[in-house]
Amino acid sequence: MTQDRRAMLYGLGAVGLWSTVATAFKVALQHMTPLELMWIASLVSWALIGALVVRRGLLGEALGRGWRTAAWAGLMNPVAYYLVLFAAYDRLPGQEAMALNYTWALAMALLAVPILGQRLTRMDILAGLIAYSGVWVIATRGRVLDVAFADPLGVGLALVSTLLWALYWLLNARDHRAPLVAQWQNFSVGVPVLTALVVLGPGIQWVGGTALAAGIYVGLFEMGIAFVLWQLAVHTVSRTAKVSNLIFLSPPVSLVLLHVIVGEPILPSTLVGLVLILGGLGLQQWQKAPATPVDAQS
């Protein structure tokens, strides 16, 4: 098997798992609060990534340096990002929250202007206009001339989550920690904070077998295994565009799963909005796709 084919399999595995998590979020949130889901998922992900750190002989590095960065990075991701994201999923249909979350790449391009001093190109502006017109279609559920959003708080939370995610990665542009080490350190900071919030809030209580299974699934796959597979894909492939394009496969599969398992009717406004969002992302990615091979270790 060639290196690129192996990378594509890793990428397809990650995208396949990410396609299921919107459904898992909605199933879990039927039985528990966003905070409880975040706490259970974070514990599972922390244990899984910790086991991988030990297996790869990175424990000494993980326990050594990097904690100054983890102190703030862990509060952003997982704590702030996922709490806001789960709160959005708790208020919105899964299809809407999932579609809105895909605008994080556009948010990153916008935030890179003040943070990294980058300039917006005409293609960035066009891509942003197209994608955020899709956000408007979804937020108004097709009543595009009606300023009243169906759930303004839910839409706001979904968009704030994209800003948090984009800001996290921009601020980590100079983070020299190994990806697994960084992820484990961040969760090591986040889990105690989330535990304190649970104890001081609803308290630790039994949420039921279905909710617990969904929480474990989210921790294993959305925050754990999918992350590892995607890292393997990016660091193995000869050109990053080959695997980055796979992410466009996830939304259609997510919509089908939400319809079949959760029973959500697929709204025409979601389909139109999602096409516009993915179209905007496609324009942006087409512009920035690297034309030359990249070092597999970069």
Q: What does 141-203 look like in DSSP terms, one character per residue?
A: TT-TT----SSHHHHHHHHHHHHHHHHHHHHTTT--S-HHHHHHHHHHHHHHHHHHHHHHTT-
Computed on alpha carbons and rounded to an integer, the radius of gyration of the chain in Å comes to 19
Structural domain containing residue 168: 3-286
pTM greater than the 0.95 cutoff = no
Within a domain: 296: no
**Model confidence at 117, in pLDDT bands (50, 70, 90)?**
confident
CA-to-CA dists, residue 267 to 105, 128, 149, 253, angstroms = 24, 23, 15, 15
Within a domain: 293: no
Cβ atoms of residues 168 and 77 within 8 Å: yes
Within a domain: 298: no
Asked if the model's pLDDT at residue 290 lies above 50, the reply is no
Helix (H, G, I), strand (E, B) or coil at 119: coil
Listed in order, strand segments (DSSP E) in 190-270 are none
Number of domains in the chain: 1
Asked if the model's pLDDT at residue 64 lies above 80, the reply is yes
Asked if the model's pLDDT at residue 254 lies above 70, the reply is yes
Lowest-confidence pick of 9-13, 68-72, 294-298: 294-298
% of the chain surpassing 90 pLDDT = 48
> What average pLDDT does range 262-285 have in this prediction?
88
Name which residue leads in pLDDT, 16 or 244.
Answer: 16
| Widest CA span in the chain | 58
Within a domain: 179: yes
Q: What integer pLDDT is reported at residue 293 of this predicted model?
A: 36
Within a domain: 88: yes
Lowest-confidence pick of 23-37, 63-77, 167-181, 213-227: 167-181
Within a domain: 277: yes
For residue 289, give the amino acid letter. Answer: A
Asked if the model's pLDDT at residue 135 lies above 80, the reply is yes
Within a domain: 221: yes
Within a domain: 188: yes
